[in-house]
């Protein structure tokens, strides 16, 4: 306990299998036997370049030109045409002007011919428009088509490369700040374990010059369940991005909580979030100590797995109480507070179990699907005060909890995604930090999976 | 210096200008943190004093966001201490999340160590010598130092001074089997050879404290402590350690009937008149506690909460070797002096925190205060000192339930009382007021007054 505080940040290693097949004999063996060859993923650090190599911007319209201009402003090496054999760090395909599925051909074939030139851990990011029921059927078909393309390309890519897309609501320009912040997230190492997913930008976002180095500077964040695992990673990541963090967990986890709080120069608040006054207690602490509260991360959650046929009230009720009822109650308190009105952010941790369901987790899936429902209906309440609310849905993440899964089951579970490995707590944390940032002002009501494109669910 | 009072006050004025320029200001309690107390040989059997004190400090730092902050001074101590722990508190600070530039010192006044640390550091804050401080205490009965026998120690020291091989062989040959039995620490008083429990048994009998009264006090202690946990009272006073999140001595399901069944363990030579059992005496315990003290400005500058003011403190001692008073009766003298100095009576106190070394200790003290003869002959009053409303006594439990890691008890009492006073706020238009009383080995006692903020 004594030597930990002085070091800062998280050091996480790839799993042993991934290390083994990444070099030398193990690499040859895996190749010969056709075994999965997960890559060591490129993860974010403030010092690392945004992408490793030039960015090819595909698309003929004004939107593509505007996006290329923004990328140049970020001091990126931008190409409007691929040079054969030149290695690329990313491909950005701008499809905001699509009018018919036949219009997909030219840009996608251009992307396809450049895919072989992608570096390891490269990115493919699409920018397209949302398909709605108001659209003319041909336009809707074209826009919806992008969804299928990106999810397929994500499965085609190898060596840690990912494909994701930004979807623009009607009337939003391709180069508006919220779209660019989402694009930057997908290009960067922050999205290492996000694959085959879409972020929707529903408004233009903030026009203030973004601080990409310390986006959360000056803000105060509360993270529940911060004593260990994903919650501790969220607390550390928000602190690295400049936030002052109030780390919350149940009193029984106070020793681990204290270690996290001290490491990031935050404060530890021992609190059971199912307490009726939990929201008020958090506000009271934040206001007294820091005079403000900007970011709420609802991470605390429990599992009490049992087949529904064998379920008892204690298991069912405790999962609902901790995972969703507490969030609903705390959000009410936050929304009632005059101190949570300056562009506030709420980010909840959902789960792929809430999207695809999971045998033996009917109670947990109910709570996590419930979180998603809550996020969508809370978004308009926050929009009124310039705020956003989003959720992340982690897939298989390497934590103390998943380390307890029997070896064979765990080994299968962590390979069942396009990146053929489990994610890190920091992958979930980076996504949350993105949602929490002022740059993501126009991104609300999103449920983003951090699952390496897990084979189950959407 | 011919007239002590006048010259004395002038001296203060001229010699301590630094302090005078700062004025006598107030010292406040910001909050506290302790680790749960564990019965000896239990959860902390393999934890050292330094481990526990460091953990208690780190929990305090985390609660108030003080990582890498330089504190004015940290003072703490342990009653049972290894010789290698000569700089225990400073070492704990160096291992903690506090800035390494935080000075620290050890002090020791037996079971009053923690409270004396609070009083001493508060005085430094009041004088303007420091702006912030952490008072603490720690004790491990599990990891107690064991020394070699006095005979062997003498031989080993002679051996280290021997120059030739011949001398060394000659000295080493003095070692006999009897020298090899180790010398473990005990709670025995050096001057009487009696254990603390045996001493209290004499006092308990002297004040005619009944077995039932002692068991009732013990039961109330467990009941009150259990209720405090259930009401989340300790959520911001305690940080778990080594898998323990509640005091392991707490028996929430105990009853007066269960306590009545225990056999006496002290004063057994009294036969049927023996009243002191394992249930109404504190067990040997491991644990650590800390209290964050500050000047009002320091707390305000950091937007820290302020729970209570440390108003005043007093120490007393009794001649238990030759005199009429029991070993643990010094607070019976310290409290009247302290209250008189502050123009207060027992009626002006809203919460009493009287350390339960033994149920008999608390009850003997209260009996002495209610005794007219004790009041007139020993305290020099017109009659009995007074009685207290038992509903104000140890309302969130005390040492009989929580346990008593000697030096850590003072910090536990101060932090809990400060929180209670803050929650109570005002009484009859004045700040709620609390009294702490701690008895200690050697016939000593330390007491203090806190007021709500």
- B1 pLDDT tier (thresholds 50, 70, 90): very low
Judged against a pLDDT cut of 50, whether residue B266 lies above it is answered with yes
B179 is catalytic: no
Each residue of A110-130: pLDDT tens digit? 999 999 999 999 999 999 999
pLDDT at B110: 94
Do A187 and A239 lie in a common domain? no
Do A263 and A379 lie in a common domain? yes
Whether B35 maps to a domain, the answer reads no
Do A197 and A226 lie in a common domain? no
CATH code of A331's domain: 3.40.50.720
- A50 pLDDT tier (thresholds 50, 70, 90): very high
CB nearest to B245's CB, from A251, A265, A267: A251
pLDDT at A37: 75
pLDDT at A12: 55
Whether A59 maps to a domain, the answer reads yes
Residue A178: closest CA among A159, A142, A205? A205
pLDDT at B185: 67
Whether B253 maps to a domain, the answer reads no
Judged against a pLDDT cut of 70, whether residue B206 lies above it is answered with yes
Each residue of B430-439: pLDDT tens digit? 999 999 999 9
Residue B76: closest CA among B228, B245, B240, B289? B289
pLDDT at A457: 64
Judged against a pLDDT cut of 90, whether residue B125 lies above it is answered with yes
Domain residue limits at B387: 196-232+311-452
pLDDT over 90 for what percent of chain A? 68
Judged against a pLDDT cut of 70, whether residue A200 lies above it is answered with yes
* Cβ contact A362:A318 at 8 Å: no
CB nearest to B65's CB, from A252, A263, A266: A266
Judged against a pLDDT cut of 70, whether residue B184 lies above it is answered with no
- A169 pLDDT tier (thresholds 50, 70, 90): very high
Each residue of B342-373: pLDDT tens digit? 999 999 999 999 999 999 999 999 999 999 99
Whether B402 maps to a domain, the answer reads yes
Do A434 and A300 lie in a common domain? yes
pLDDT over 70 for what percent of chain A? 96
Do A261 and A334 lie in a common domain? yes
- Give the SS3 label for residue A168: strand
CATH code of B341's domain: 3.40.47.10
Chain B interface includes A289 (CB < 8 A):
yes
Contacts of A251 in chain B (CB under 8 A): 232, 234-235, 238, 240, 245
DSSP annotation of B183 reads B
CB nearest to B59's CB, from A254, A288, A289: A254
Do B172 and B209 lie in a common domain? no
Whether B410 maps to a domain, the answer reads yes
Do A180 and A277 lie in a common domain? no
Whether A171 maps to a domain, the answer reads yes
Do B387 and B448 lie in a common domain? yes
Buried b (16+ CB within 10 A) or exposed e, A17-46: bbebbeeeebeeebeeeeeebbbbbbbbee
* Cβ contact B62:B76 at 8 Å: no
Whether B367 maps to a domain, the answer reads yes
Do A158 and A255 lie in a common domain? no
Do A300 and A151 lie in a common domain? no
Each residue of B24-70: pLDDT tens digit? 899 999 999 999 999 999 999 999 999 999 999 999 999 999 999 99
pLDDT at B187: 65
- B13 pLDDT tier (thresholds 50, 70, 90): very low
Do A348 and A387 lie in a common domain? yes
- Concatenating the DSSP letter of every residue in A198-251 gives EEEE-S----SPP-SSSTTTT-EEEEETTTSHHHHHHHHHHHHTT-EEEEEE-G
Do B352 and B410 lie in a common domain? yes
pLDDT at B159: 84
- A352 pLDDT tier (thresholds 50, 70, 90): confident
Tell me which of A201, A235, A270 is where a domain ends.
A201
Chain B interface includes A266 (CB < 8 A):
yes
Q: At what angle do helices B165-172 and B150-161 cross, to 10 degrees?
A: 170
Do B201 and B168 lie in a common domain? no
Do A151 and A268 lie in a common domain? no
Judged against a pLDDT cut of 50, whether residue B15 lies above it is answered with no
More confident residue, B22 or B144: B144
Do A290 and A432 lie in a common domain? yes
Contacts of B61 in chain A (CB under 8 A): 258, 262
Do B211 and B172 lie in a common domain? no
Do B175 and B214 lie in a common domain? no
Worst-scoring range by mean pLDDT, A336-340, B180-184, B285-289? B180-184
Whether A213 maps to a domain, the answer reads no
Domain count, chain A: 2
- Give the SS3 label for residue B431: strand
Domain residue limits at A444: 220-450
Whether B274 maps to a domain, the answer reads no
pLDDT at A358: 84
A217 contacts: CB under 8 Å, gap ≥ 6: A211, A241, A242, A243
Whether A377 maps to a domain, the answer reads yes
> In which residue are the tokens 């109404």 written?
B280
Whether B5 maps to a domain, the answer reads no
Contacts of B235 in chain A (CB under 8 A): 251, 270-272
Whether A292 maps to a domain, the answer reads yes
Domain count, chain B: 2
CB-count burial class (<10 Å; 0-12, 13-18, 19+) for B357:
buried
Each residue of A396-420: pLDDT tens digit? 888 887 888 788 888 888 888 888 8
CB atoms within 10 A of CB B396: 23
Whether A20 maps to a domain, the answer reads no
Do A92 and A234 lie in a common domain? no
Contacts 24+ apart (CB under 8 A), A313-316: A315/A363, A316/A363
pLDDT at B148: 75
Whether A19 maps to a domain, the answer reads no
CA B104 to chain centre: 19
Whether B323 maps to a domain, the answer reads yes
Each residue of B229-253: pLDDT tens digit? 999 999 999 999 999 999 999 999 9
The one catalytic residue in B111, B199, B222, B422 is B111
B8 contacts: CB under 8 Å, gap ≥ 6: none
Q: What is the mean pLDDT of chain A?
A: 90
Mean pLDDT, residues B372-396? 96
């Amino acid at each position: 306990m004594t030597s930990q505080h002085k070091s800062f940040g998280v050091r996480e290693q790839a799993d042993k299998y991934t290390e083994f097949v990444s070099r030398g004999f193990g690499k040859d063996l895996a190749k010969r036997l056709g075994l999965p060859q997960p890559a060591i993923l490129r993860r974010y650090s403030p010092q690392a370049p945004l992408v490793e190599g030039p960015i090819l911007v595909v698309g003929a319209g004004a939107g593509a030109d505007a996006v290329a201009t923004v990328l140049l402003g970020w001091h990126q090496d931008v190409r409007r045409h691929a040079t054969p054999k030149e290695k690329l760090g990313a491909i950005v395909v701008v499809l905001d002007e699509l009018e018919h599925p036949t219009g997909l051909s030219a840009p996608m074939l251009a992307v396809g011919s450049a895919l072989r030139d992608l570096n390891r851990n490269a990115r493919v990011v699409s920018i397209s428009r949302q398909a709605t029921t108001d659209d003319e059927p041909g336009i809707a078909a074209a826009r919806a088509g992008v969804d299928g393309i990106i999810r397929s390309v994500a499965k085609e890519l190898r060596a840690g490369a990912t494909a994701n897309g930004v979807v623009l609501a009607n009337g939003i320009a391709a180069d508006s700040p919220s779209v660019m912040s989402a694009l930057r997230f997908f290009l960067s190492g922050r999205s290492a374990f996000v694959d085959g997913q879409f972020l929707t930008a529903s408004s233009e976002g903030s026009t203030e010059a973004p601080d990409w180095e310390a986006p959360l500077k000056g803000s105060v964040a509360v993270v529940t369940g911060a004593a260990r695992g994903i919650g501790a990673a969220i607390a550390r990541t928000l602190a690295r991005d400049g936030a002052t963090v109030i780390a919350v967990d149940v009193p029984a986890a106070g020793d681990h909580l204290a270690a996290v709080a001290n490491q990031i120069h935050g404060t530890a608040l021992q609190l059971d979030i199912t307490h009726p006054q939990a929201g008020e207690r958090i506000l009271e602490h934040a206001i007294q100590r820091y005079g403000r509260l900007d970011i709420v991360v609802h991470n605390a959650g429990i599992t009490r797995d049992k087949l529904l046929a064998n379920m008892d009230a204690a298991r069912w009720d405790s999962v609902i109480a901790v995972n969703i009822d507490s969030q609903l109650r705390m959000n009410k308190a936050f929304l009632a507070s005059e101190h949570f009105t300056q562009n506030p952010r709420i980010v909840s941790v959902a789960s792929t179990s809430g999207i695809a369901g999971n045998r033996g987790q009917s109670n947990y899936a109910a709570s996590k699907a419930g979180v998603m429902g809550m996020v969508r209906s809370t978004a308009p309440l926050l929009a009124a005060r310039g705020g956003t609310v989003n959720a992340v849905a982690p897939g298989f993440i390497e934590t103390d909890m998943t380390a307890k899964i029997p070896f064979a089951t765990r080994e299968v579970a962590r390979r069942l995604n396009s990146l053929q490995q489990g994610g890190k707590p920091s992958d979930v944390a980076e996504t949350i930090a993105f949602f929490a940032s002022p740059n993501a002002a126009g991104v609300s009501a999103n449920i983003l999976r951090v699952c390496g494109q897990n084979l189950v669910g959407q | 210096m011919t007239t002590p009072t006048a010259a004395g006050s002038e001296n203060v004025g001229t010699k301590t200008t630094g302090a005078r320029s700062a004025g006598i200001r107030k010292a406040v309690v910001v909050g506290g943190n302790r680790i749960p107390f564990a019965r000896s040989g239990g959860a902390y059997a393999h934890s050292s004093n330094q481990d526990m004190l460091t953990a208690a400090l780190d929990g305090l730092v985390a609660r108030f966001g003080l990582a890498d902050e330089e504190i004015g001074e940290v003072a703490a101590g342990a009653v049972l201490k290894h010789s290698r722990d000569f700089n225990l508190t400073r070492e704990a600070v160096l291992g903690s999340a506090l800035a390494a530039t935080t000075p620290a010192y050890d002090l020791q006044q037996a079971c009053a160590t923690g409270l004396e640390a609070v009083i001493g550091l508060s005085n430094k804050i009041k004088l303007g010598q420091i702006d912030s401080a952490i008072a603490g205490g720690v004790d491990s009965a599990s990891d107690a130092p064991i020394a070699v026998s006095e005979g062997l120690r003498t031989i080993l020291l002679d051996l280290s001074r021997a120059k030739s091989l011949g001398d060394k062989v000659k000295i080493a040959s003095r070692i006999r089997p009897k020298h090899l039995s180790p010398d473990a620490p005990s709670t025995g008083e050096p001057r009487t050879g009696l254990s603390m429990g045996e001493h209290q048994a004499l006092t308990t009998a002297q004040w005619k404290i009944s077995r039932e009264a002692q068991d009732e006090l013990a039961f109330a202690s467990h009941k009150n402590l259990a209720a405090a946990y259930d009401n989340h009272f300790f959520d911001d006073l305690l940080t778990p350690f080594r898998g323990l999140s509640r005091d392991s001595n707490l028996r929430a399901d105990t009853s007066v009937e269960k306590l009545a069944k225990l056999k006496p363990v002290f004063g057994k030579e009294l036969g049927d008149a023996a009243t002191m059992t394992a249930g109404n005496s504190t067990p040997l315990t491991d644990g650590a506690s800390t209290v964050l003290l500050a000047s009002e400005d320091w707390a305000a500058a950091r937007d820290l909460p302020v729970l209570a003011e440390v108003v005043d403190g007093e120490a007393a001692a009794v001649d238990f070797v030759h005199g009429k008073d029991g070993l643990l009766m010094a607070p019976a003298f310290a409290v009247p002096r302290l209250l008189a100095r502050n123009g207060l009576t027992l009626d002006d106190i809203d919460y009493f925190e009287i350390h339960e070394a033994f149920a008999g200790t608390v009850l003997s003290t209260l009996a002495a205060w209610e005794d007219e003869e004790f009041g007139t002959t020993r305290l020099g009053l017109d009659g009995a000192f007074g009685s207290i409303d038992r509903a104000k006594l140890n309302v969130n439990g005390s040492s009989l339930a929580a346990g008593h890691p000697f030096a850590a008890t003072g910090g536990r009492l101060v932090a809990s009382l400060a929180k209670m006073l803050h929650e109570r706020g005002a009484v009859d238009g004045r700040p709620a007021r609390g009294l702490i009383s701690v008895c200690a080995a050697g016939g000593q006692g330390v007491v203090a007054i806190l007021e709500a903020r």
